[in-house]
Chains A and B, each alone.
Chain A
């Protein structure tokens, strides 16, 4: 009882008794989540505006006679003539480790019924991206656990890698796999007791998705034990466009906290096509001039200012990083659309997923020719770099030869060998969803391919053989993998241990 009275007494003591000055206006029109307010002559751009019934808005359009505000709450509670007042604050969201394991909305309010967020710190959703001086080049790997990606399109901490493809080609699955893999690595690192281990915290931003999809994603994270390292920012399709517009910026602010405090974070924007559509909707209601595909002129800036906030900071600035995996949905495989080309030009590479490959059963359906990582092998551990250096070239050659060989009945030995190797690599890269593989096992499997351990196995049996090898390496032949995990290198002695383990495995197969 006394604690309650103490709390009230403390609040009274801290309460300001000065006269307040606010700037007010009245709602002139109200439509589609946007209010046009007359007055508010001293409002700032992006300032939070307070409406009756605790509804908040953001001033986005500052015109001569009125202010266009996007509304963040229940708009049906407002009517024309209601008073709006400035708050003097920019929209901020809670940040910090208290958000891990939680599901929040676009303004950081919990929606998972697990009680209030345990965080005292807030960051504004719109912030200026780090400049050139505090940055550092990307060199530390961020393993996705997907062999096709980690071997051919390696991603580094602080990189922005776009995941692009048509609907239902496995874009979200790649992002989810990456998050699950981070949780696996974090747990292993924590158990190892390594003082230099740097966990990667994850933020998954769902924009314009069905609530059922978001619920399914949460379930996957919970079942795989990844949820304790993940924050989900949800602005589903049923949410108003203002929330969908803000969600990626809110998620980014949460990720920036980790980066600025010397930690590593990964953020997934799923997806930025729907984000652009929400922004187009807001802009059209605000009567901003429209351009190509009715998007406003600043749609490039919408995404560039978001993705530029992902960076790798240097040691003087805490050595933190924020890696971004934006997702873009294409129409009929057309990468030359307005939004896809914009985001391709902003990011440091893309993973392109093809519908044809997906339908052929090659999953993840990564298109080798159209996918690239501009960071390259700088974001790979030495051991993996050694075994996967030639894979992309071999696979590209295979695709080309496979197309020509359809017309040839008689092939020379070298071409046949290339085709055989390529067909085996394609099978090798097939991987089931939510089943990421650790980098040391990936290295061992790739080494086995390079050293002809799969040449005697029928192509149709490769997938099952790879699975059995992965299981063998994680249960029995662990010594070589442990050495790769600890040193990150593939020394002569390690290779010998690996060879003997693989020969043992081969014997079990025959």
Chain B
């Protein structure tokens, strides 16, 4: 338990070192940290690196999200959604547009742990749930 907490603390410190002024992960800084770790491996390198990976992913997810639509073509509505969400979150959010045909129409957007959805598929699912 204590060792786990110690690894977590070290990994958090490494994440802080990997960020630029805007709070985004800087690939060069991450490379530098990994090179240094290789030179002088820590006693518990594996759990530290695992935790580091989890935390870096979580950090990236705060400004990079996914926008699922029926087709993957970017259009004005995608830009509008991106602008609105950036405004609401107070920072620039990059949205990766993905194709998701089962949605039928509408969108599903995920940023970090939050999922925003307004699609025909979700409405049908809600209707199904209310009828059962």
Contact = CB atoms under 8 A, between A and B. Distances in A.
A38 B57 CA distance: 12
B32 interface: no
Nearest to B129: A54
A319 B27 CA distance: 68
Interface in A1-51: 8, 11-12, 14-25, 38-42
B80 interface: no
B113 interface: yes
Contacts of A14: 130
B1 A20 contact: no
B114 A16 contact: no
Given A65-B8, A65-B54, A287-B1, A24 B115 contact: yes
Contact of B110 (A16, A19, A24): A24
A102 interface: no
Contacts of B39: none
A303 interface: no
A85 interface: yes
A32 B127 CA distance: 33
Nearest to A14: B130
Most chain A beta carbons < 10 A, residue from B8, B110, B115? B115
Contacts of B114: 21-24, 42
B64 interface: no
Given A15-B123, A23-B114, 10 more contacts: A11-B130, A12-B127, A14-B130, A16-B126, A18-B118, A20-B116, A20-B117, A20-B122, A22-B115, A40-B113
23 contacts: A8-B131, A11-B127, A14-B130, A15-B123, A15-B127, A16-B126, A17-B123, A20-B117, A20-B118, A20-B122, A21-B115, A21-B116, A22-B114, A22-B117, A23-B114, A24-B110, A24-B114, A24-B115, A25-B113, A41-B112, A41-B113, A42-B113, A65-B8
Interface of A: 8, 11-12, 14-25, 38-42, 64-65, 85, 287
Interface of B: 1, 8, 54, 110, 112-118, 122-123, 126-127, 130-131
